[in-house]
Structure 1
């Protein structure tokens, strides 16, 4: 479906709204300037690439969540694509299938690459040690049907078929709190829907940057339990704090663990804000999982 329905499809349910006021509010859903002399419409939300570039699309929020079973696809997708070969310690080995599958749908968004400009937008001159969004922070997810229809098509006969919308699209439920600062998002001034959607669904760390050198070298499975991911259950997408072991969690603060340092700082000053990993979560009580992770690294 790539075009708005005709009025006949709408009027059965919305007849009263159609005749409410000189410019009925319901008409603005489709029309840019409702009236008898102007029938111009906003781009239809599908395909997203076109809609997102429009004024309405930049700030739009979908009424649907996507049901995508990662556990079903992680092996199948990699089998259907050529596997890269890498040279490791004088021997040839194929990259793990799960890693290859992840790259089919998820790429680094707005990568910095070799550029000297690391920030997504120009930061304030008095930024200091405060956080500002950097390029390469997020990974993309498919925003349209193109990747899905590679396999799920009339020709292949693989279910769910392209006509079965309800198989993948479910009405959006109220999500849990995310580590997202709306005021900061406004100040960053990006108006990029992919970034906004990714940032506003960060249920673990709002500052984690995928393109950071040490992070980019790690496998996806280091942090993500792909087989357990359920896109309709935000709790399944939380990253366990133990994924940060050794680098950010050490036996003591003197060993360089930033989590150790921030926990010690909070114990010394109840007003201390945890900012290395968090935005809106930084003032909340320290989760028990964090305390246990530090204790485990200390051998307690």
Structure 2
């Protein structure tokens, strides 16, 4: 009886130990709450997403056309631009590129973007409205749009050609055999340094600057207009003189930054009478000598050096009086050449040497 009782007690003890110890072991192992696990998984997911985003290329804006992309730079100009365009007779005096490339030029590389939805973004590069029912396009080139190209035009080299024997003594129109309209020439005017070869007379009357009493307005026809388009260039550079008309890169260089299309500098200071006197007929370059030295259109310096005025027989007596008065009184306003507002400003460095001599 005792033996049986001992066996039952031992068996019960073993059974209890088998039930209690596994629960202790379970309680001893670290537990993770669902919230902690969820946070860790979320953190890993965010990191993966950020890594994939950083590795992903930025989306290309097809509403803006850039000649600077690697693909576009690898193409020749005539891969997209066909010369002449169908509208050249209405737009130019020469067979010229006067319109955007055709749809075929776009589809060759951009078929996916071209047919992307009912209003593809790429169409807004040329068209004023992205609609299959409206074919209206921007003017070519877009007005007030910065250019992606800088124009290579060395005034110094062209000035040497114009001043050579090739142009001396002959009317300008005779030197240009193509479709250039004859220009009226005053035979009394010297033919050397003739800016009229490229620059036509500006018929528009300049607006006087406001803000001070002596608003000076030069008469119409005083200044020259800047050439727009290829017409002036093609007079010489059509087939014989390099760069020829089909060598776009000969004059147009892709710029790293956009180039503002500024056709003429704004002038508010000078009130100089450009009308020629009978005894004093001069070419533009006789005074605007800085332009004839420039090898680029960037940072042109159309200003006339004051030394060319102060030392000339025409203006020496007129300017000398004001120079002397400015030396004595720094508040004196120079008004023979400048408007009263500008004439009272601090003396620029270009003038200082004249006042200290």
Which residue of the other structure, out of 226, 248, 265, is the alignment partner of 1:199? Answer: 265
Q: Is the CA contact (8 Å cut-off) linking 1:250 and 1:294 kept in structure 2?
A: no
1:106 aligns with 2:199: yes
Matched residues in 2 for 1:263 and 1:208: separation? Answer: 22
Which residue of the partner structure matches residue 165 of structure 1? 248
Distance 2:161 2:281 in 1: 24
Change in Cα spacing, 1:250 to 1:275, as seen in structure 2 (3 Å) is closer
Cα deviation for residue 198 of structure 1 reads 1.4
For residue 142 of structure 1, the aligned residue among 210, 227, 250 is 227
Note the 1:133-282 alignment, pairs <5 A: 134-154=219-239, 156=240, 158-171=241-254, 197-200=263-266, 207=270, 211-213=274-276, 217-225=281-289, 227-234=292-299, 237-245=302-310, 255=321, 257=322, 267-268=330-331, 276-277=337-338
Gaps of 5+ in 2: 1-96, 172-186
Output one character per residue of 1:215-245: Cα deviation in whole Å (capped at 9) or x when no partner: 9833333323365122334255543221221
Aligned to 2:84: none
Are 1:292 and 2:353 an aligned pair? yes
Instruction: State the distance in 2 between where 1:275 and 1:134 align.
Output: 18
How much has 1:292 moved relative to structure 2? 0.7
- Higher RCO by CA contacts (8 Å cutoff, separation 6 or greater): 1
Q: Name the CA shift for 1:107/1:273 in 2 (closer, same or farther; >3 Å).
A: same
Q: Deviations over 1:55-86 (max 9, x none)?
A: x64x455444432223333343464457259x
Quick one: distance in 1 between partners of 2:275 and 2:130?
47
Partner SS state of residue 221, structure 2 = coil
**Across the two proteins, how many residue pairs are aligned to each other?**
239
Q: Please list the CA deviations of residues 101-136 of structure 1 after superposition, one character each: whole Å capped at 9, or x if unmatched.
A: x2211233117xxxxxxx546998x97423557533
Distance 2:325 2:110 in 1: 58
- Contact between 2:214 and 2:340, CA under 8 Å: does it hold in 1? no
The answer as to whether partners of 1:251 and 1:294 remain within 8 angstroms in 2 is: no
Q: Counterpart of 2:253 in 1: which secondary structure?
A: strand
Q: Are the aligned partners of 1:106 and 1:139 in contact in 2 as well (CA < 8 Å)?
A: yes
**CA distance in structure 2 between the partners assigned to 1:144 and 1:206 by the alignment:** 29
* Paired residues of 1:69 and 1:231 also in contact (CA < 8 A): yes
Q: Distance in 1 between matches of 2:119 and 2:273?
A: 50
Structure 1: state its 5+ residue gaps.
46-55, 86-92, 112-118, 177-192
After TM superposition, the score normalised by the length of structure 2 is 0.49
> Is the 2:212–2:340 Cα contact (8 Å) retained in structure 1?
no
Contact 1:67–1:168 (8 Å) recurs in 2? yes
Q: 1: CA distance between counterparts of 2:123 and 2:193? A: 46
Closer/same/farther in 2, CA of residues 23 and 240 from structure 1, 3 Å limit:
farther
1:69 and 2:154 are equivalent in the alignment? yes
Which residues of 2 match residues 31-70 of structure 1 at below 5 A? 31-45=127-141, 57=143, 59-70=144-155
